Amino acid sequence: NAGVMQNPRHLVRRRGQEARLRCSPMKGHSHVYWYRQLPEEGLKFMVYLQKENIIDESGMPKERFSAEFPKEGPSILRIQQVVRGDSAAYFCASSPDRSPNSPLHFGNGTRLTVT
Amino acid sequence: QKEVEQDPGPLSVPEGAIVSLNCTYSNSAFQYFMWYRQYSRKGPELLMYTYSSGNKEDGRFTAQVDKSSKYISLFIRDSQPSDSATYLCAMKNSGGSNYKLTFGKGTLLTVNP
């Protein structure tokens, strides 16, 4: 039973390039969450998606960041025109439903480095 | 004041010691409390999950929630070197955004053999 799969594990981008982070939830899970972990900071909520819908993107910067979870395929977190401050670990989590009793299962993250 | 405060440590203990980790919080709407363990370069792994106040025990781990003091704890008995990791507390409310976890910064624990 595969867990949450994220790729790539490491991503290096130059300033101004685009970064695409992918997340495949656990089997049977249709709810996906993205969190960002900056150095010396805790995990911060970015966005919550269900299949084909963005439910809450309140934690995501308004500019340059976007997320999707299409009917087929993984969820994508896209960062356009990356800046050094975007360097962080980005974690995806999934759950079978949005019940508060449903625990979130996290992937091992994508570590983005902007040079 | 941050919503969730957690001493980052680091905390270093000998093998077999009892470890006490804790968090305080300011948002009285938090009803669900979790502890995650995160090994280096890995994702957080859920250890304990508690609803409202009270204690919960699972093997060597005990989680306590004191809502009146806005204080949660995780105790690890007979600590092992394999327990060396960062421990994150997390919480969420019971309202409309009950899917959103608010994390502490994490406490780095090292258990020395």
pLDDT at A30: 92
Contact of B22 with B72, CB cutoff 8 Å: yes
pLDDT at B17: 97
| Rounded Cα distance, A38 and A89, in Å | 7
Average pLDDT over residues A52-71: 95
Q: What is the pLDDT of residues B49-102, one digit of tens each?
A: 998 888 999 999 999 999 999 999 999 999 999 999 999 999 998 877 888 999
Task: Using DSSP bridges, classify how beta strands B102-103 and B85-93 pair: parallel, antiparallel or unpaired.
Answer: antiparallel
| Rounded Cα distance, B68 and B27, in Å | 12
A50: CB partners within 8 A, 6+ apart: A30, A31, A32, A69
Query: What torsion, rounded to 10 degrees, do the Cα atoms A14, A68, B98, A60 define?
Result: 30
User: What residues of B are in the A interface, CB distance below 8 Å?
Assistant: 4, 6, 8, 31-32, 34, 36, 41-46, 49, 51, 88, 90, 92, 94, 97-106
**Taking CB atoms and an 8 Å limit, are A106 and B103 in contact across chains?**
no
Q: What is the pLDDT of residues B17-52, one digit of tens each?
A: 999 999 999 999 999 999 999 999 999 999 999 988
* Chain A: closest CA distance from residue B43 (Å): 4
| Rounded Cα distance, A92 and B44, in Å | 10
pLDDT at A41: 82
Q: What is the pLDDT of residues A10-50, one digit of tens each?
A: 999 999 999 999 999 999 899 999 999 998 788 999 999 99
Answer yes or no: is pLDDT of A96 > 70.
yes
Q: How confident is the model at residue B7 (pLDDT cuts 50, 70, 90)?
A: confident
Q: Which helix (H) or strand (E) holds A68?
A: strand A65-68
Average pLDDT over residues A52-74: 95
| Rounded Cα distance, A30 and B94, in Å | 21
Q: How confident is the model at residue A1 (pLDDT cuts 50, 70, 90)?
A: low
**Taking CB atoms and an 8 Å limit, are B100 and A45 in contact across chains?**
yes
Of B97, B101, B105, the CB nearest to A56: B97
Of B31, B32, B43, the CB nearest to A106: B43
Contact of A18 with A81, CB cutoff 8 Å: yes
The pLDDT > 70 percentage for chain B reads: 99
Please, what's the b/e burial string for A85-106 (b: 16 or more CB within 10 A of its CB; e: otherwise)?
ebbbbbbbbbbeeeebeebbbb
Q: Which residue of B has its CA nearest to A4?
A: B43
Instruction: Provide the CB-side half-sphere exposure for A24 (13 A, CA).
Output: 9
**Taking CB atoms and an 8 Å limit, are B106 and A42 in contact across chains?**
yes
Question: Over chain A, what is the mean pLDDT?
Answer: 94
